[in-house]
């Protein structure tokens, strides 16, 4: 994912889009907490989870998402989806 993000960033820079100065951090958002400081146990659990690896998964496609934060939470819209190649069968063929 990091290599793919680097290649996309370079291609967009070639089209005149500014590079994002923040380093890319591949992630899966499981949920959002509006005020984590209100619950010290939750704050500690979220902080300690960032250092853990939770496993691997096969990614078959990537979607470019628009994230719009509003008073009722985040709203996500898929702008484009690209397949990352053909799936490999479980039988190894």
pLDDT at 93: 45
| Number of Cβ within a 10 Å radius of residue 43 | 14
**Secondary structure class of 80 (helix, strand, coil):** strand
Phi, psi of 16, deg, nearest 5:
100, 5
Gap between the Cα atoms of 67 and 77, Å rounded: 7
Residue 20 per-residue DSSP state: P
- Identify whether the C-beta of residue 40 lies closer than 8 Å to the C-beta of residue 48: no
pLDDT of residue 88: 54
- Domain positions in the chain: 2-83
Taking only the tens of pLDDT, the chain with its 93 residues reads: 888 888 889 999 999 999 888 888 887 777 767 776 788 888 788 777 777 777 887 888 888 888 898 888 889 999 999 898 765 555 444
């Amino acid at each position: 994912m990091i290599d793919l993000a680097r290649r996309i960033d370079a291609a967009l820079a070639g089209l005149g889009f500014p590079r994002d100065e923040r380093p890319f951090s591949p992630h899966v958002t499981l949920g959002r907490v509006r005020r984590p400081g209100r619950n010290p146990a939750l704050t500690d659990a979220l902080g300690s989870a960032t250092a853990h690896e939770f496993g691997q998964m096969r990614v078959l496609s990537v979607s470019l998402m628009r994230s719009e934060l509003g008073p009722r939470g985040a709203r996500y819209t898929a702008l484009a989806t690209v397949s990352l190649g053909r799936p490999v069968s479980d039988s190894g063929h």
